[in-house]
Structure 1
């Protein structure tokens, strides 16, 4: 029995699009979906949608397009239940001009991470920590560190990610010396380094940096949404170590994935991410990592 019985209660947006190609590959909203060995592309795509539903904490609407051109409207819930519909999804009414907003962006997928700090290298510091009102997570760095931050931005803007990483590490070390490793200034630069590592396809480094930033933010009760994004992207980096990614050949490393999986699970549980992400991590580890243990 499908979980979703009141179809009209499911919000009209977002509507995600799964495309299954004749080659057997699948994509979600244009982003390729990675599969485990022997896993059907449809199952992998639905698991991707399941994670999105979990992050929204509600069922979501999906159009699944088959290689023969047919389209199947579906409702997918966070627990993986799929409800086929016998009619297309309703067209949402246009928003009044004063209320128009940018379309909702999907959560991070295996093909393209989102919710990372911006590519300029500017720290994302989205609000004051509730238990420490004197610590402002949105405060800019003190002026004496502005030149070092500018060096990070300049290297990043020029596309020189190795130089941006070195400059960001120097900035983190300086802030660590002055304020300590847990200060918002330092932690936000750790998040910048995590972003650079992902964009450089350095998944092991990205995993460690994302885990560290998420843990430290959580312990200081920093604004939660950014903390969750960092934890989710740690999971994203770890999956790239587990399985081969066609876009970044040679970057998978099951031995490192095995080495870090327990640390990742501790972080995910510590910051209390959506249960489906923890379950996915456990399933991937059981499926792919025994040989590396």
Structure 2
């Protein structure tokens, strides 16, 4: 049977655990599995996993623990295809971790990158004021206005423009109302930071938050998530 060739397409969670005892008993995530007629414990456990994969509509990850204590990371599809892995399953992507008070962080960034002109400073003031009063939607709209002006006057890769874009992206996570938009904004932020040669730590944060937002989108709207998979793939190498 064919094996899974695109390992990155397999969700990182859940990871099921098969335990096979020395007496031939098997559990999946602690639940006993009855042997199928004419099948051994291992085959019966894999049949159970196949059903779970079919219900989810995609291959799933498992750790198979043998009686001797060895652990085998595998991917199992609904058709019974088993793909052994040569390394443990990767850790799940972290939940979105936006920097607290993104507008205030943007204000600090502008100080490091040089002073803003009066018009830009006024727009930044709108962002900070809206966020501090809890109006995240208003802060996001003001950050977009600021980014638009900065892009036109300073270019998309200027530190001030990148800061405004990052603030929009962070606010999109805090708003939690459009995971597709949050994914796109973080992808854009990661790509532009890479193009500008910005510090790696911020670029990695943007890329990881893009993956985290996409994971939340996939849970809520799998079809929409699939349309964004190519965009997400462009920054996969930036998360390391």
Common fold: TM-score over 0.5: yes
Residue number in structure 2 paired with 1:119:
101
Of 172, 184, 187 in structure 1, the residue corresponding to residue 159 of structure 2 is 184
Which has the higher mean CA deviation after the structures are superposed, 176-185 or 224-233? 176-185
Return the alpha-carbon distance in structure 2 between the equivalents of residues 182 and 151 of structure 1: 22
Q: Structure 2 unaligned segments of length 5 or more: list them.
A: 1-28, 30-52, 64-86
Deviation string, structure 1 residues 257-287 (Cα, Å, up to 9, x no partner): 1111011011223x3x23xxxxxxxxxxxxx
1:123-134 counterparts in 2 under 5 A? Answer: 123=105
Secondary structure of 1:215 counterpart: helix
**Maintained 8 Å contact 1:118/1:124:** no
TM-score by length of structure 1 reads 0.48
The answer to whether the 8 A contact 2:93-2:211 is kept is no
Change (3 A) 1:226 1:125: farther
Q: CA RMSD, aligned part only?
A: 3.2
Relative distance call for 1:237 and 1:212 in structure 2 (3 A) is same
Q: Would the alpha carbon gap of residues 169 and 234 (structure 1) be closer, same or farther in structure 2, given more than 3 Å must change?
A: same
Where do 1:172-251 residues align within 5 Å? Answer: 172-201=147-176, 202-243=178-219
Residue aligning to 1:266 = 234
Q: Deviations over 1:43-73 (max 9, x none)?
A: 89x9xxxxxxxxxxxxxxxxxxxxxxxxxxx
Sort the Cα spacing of 1:263 and 1:210 in 2 relative to 1 into closer, same or farther, 3 A. same
Relative to the length of structure 2, the TM-score reads: 0.58
d(CA) in 1 for partners of 2:148, 2:171: 16
Partners of 1:117 and 1:124 within 8 A in 2 = no
Partner of 2:94: 109
Unaligned runs of 5+ in 1: 1-23, 25-35, 47-78, 82-106, 128-135, 244-251, 275-293
Tell me the distance in 1 between the aligned counterparts of 2:102 and 2:194: 24
Aligned to 1:138, the other structure's residue is in SS state: helix
Separation in 1 of the partners of 2:197 and 2:107? 13
Residue 141 of structure 1 and its aligned partner are, at CA, apart by 4.6
Q: Is this contact kept in 2: 1:182–1:216, CA < 8 A? A: yes
- The total of aligned residue pairs comes to 159
